[in-house]
Amino acid sequence: MIRKFRWIDLALLPFGLCVLFLLLLGKLFGLTYKQISVVFNLWVQGAVLALSGLAPFGIAIYKLLESFSVGWLFLAIILAIYGIAYVYAFIKMLQHYHLPFNDAFDLCVMDLQLLAKKWHTTYQMVNLLIFILFYLILIGVNVIICYFLF
């Protein structure tokens, strides 16, 4: 029986490449796949995202100190709230996916599988959407905000 091609199957190739990348990174640092997945996908990516969310606030403070104006003060306050939201989300994520590594990894997989079921797609596709696409979109938005602030 010939299996019908589904576009969703295209997610398997980039997902496989991501798994290979994590396996190699784990080997480099002496970590198992579960450990490196938690460290890289949750801790590193989460920290980078939280810091990128704070970056616009840092630029607004720099501009405020450079030449004080009520506009820059107001914008700095708004961007502080924006950055705090990123940091808050990171802290909540860390609390949700707490150690030990195996528990954090298994809970993350379970959450991704639940989302896959709700979104009528595969675990691999949800993983790519969240840890690649959504992550890059949020980083990109923060880079664009910083660009326009300069």
Nearest-angstrom CA–CA distance, 72 and 74: 5
Query: What are the residue ranges spanned by the domains of the chain?
Result: 40-149
The pLDDT value recorded for residue 13 is 80
Residue 86 scores a pLDDT above 70? yes
* % of the chain at pLDDT higher than 90: 83
> What would the DSSP string read from start to end of 51-108?
HHHHHHHHHHHHHHHHS--HHHHHHHHHHHHHHHHHHHHHHHHHHHTPSSHHHHHHHH
Tell me the mean pLDDT in the region 61-80. 94
The pLDDT value recorded for residue 5 is 61
Residue 6 scores a pLDDT above 70? no
The pLDDT value recorded for residue 40 is 96
The pLDDT value recorded for residue 104 is 96
Distance (Å) of CA 85 to CA 19, 52, 91, 95: 30, 12, 10, 15
Residue 9 scores a pLDDT above 70? no
Residue 8 scores a pLDDT above 80? no
The pLDDT value recorded for residue 14 is 86
